[in-house]
């Protein structure tokens, strides 16, 4: 019996006989959940920010909102998503006294990052 056959048998034992496939299915479900809800959040917020960007700038409120949107875009565009996830989960939420699940934080961060795709 070759080395590949031994590894294949070991994989089969872990993946199928010990119900390892259920963990893969849970991960797949969570991935789809994060992707769909994150994109929906990104579409909603992206539409609102795009509406602010096309508002006439001769009044005070649109200028302030445009500045806030520019700051948001500059902040999120300049940092990697992994850094955003870590900062949101370990820094921002504890400072605000909030205790959200990791899945909720992922959805929020990926949604806020998806906004950048819809703005351009």
pLDDT band at 70 (very low <50, low <70, confident <90, very high): confident
Report the pLDDT value the prediction gives residue 33, as an integer from 0 to 100. 95
- In terms of Cα–Cα distance, which of 65, 75, 86, 64 is closest to 113? 75
pLDDT band at 1 (very low <50, low <70, confident <90, very high): low
Distance (Å) of CA 60 to CA 32, 50, 66, 68: 41, 18, 10, 13
pLDDT band at 4 (very low <50, low <70, confident <90, very high): confident
Could you give all domains of the chain from N- to C-terminal order, each with its CATH number? 3-119 (1.10.3720.10)
Q: Is the pLDDT of residue 86 over 90?
A: yes
Q: Is the pLDDT of residue 99 over 80?
A: yes
Q: Residues 11-67: pLDDT tens digits?
A: 888 777 777 788 888 999 999 999 999 999 999 999 988 888 888 877 888 888 888
> How large is the average pLDDT for residues 87-106?
93
C-alpha span between 104 and 21 (Å, rounded): 24
């Amino acid at each position: 019996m070759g080395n590949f056959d031994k590894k294949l048998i070991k994989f089969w034992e872990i993946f199928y006989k010990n119900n390892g496939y259920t963990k893969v299915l849970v991960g797949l479900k969570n991935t789809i959940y994060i992707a769909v809800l994150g994109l929906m959040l990104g579409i909603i917020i992206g539409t609102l920010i795009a509406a602010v960007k096309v508002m006439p700038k001769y009044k005070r409120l649109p200028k302030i909102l445009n500045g806030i949107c520019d700051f948001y875009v500059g902040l999120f565009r300049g940092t990697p998503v992994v850094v955003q996830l870590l900062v949101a989960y370990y820094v921002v939420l504890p400072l605000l006294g909030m205790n959200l699940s990791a899945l909720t934080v992922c959805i929020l961060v990926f949604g806020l990052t998806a906004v950048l795709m819809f703005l351009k």
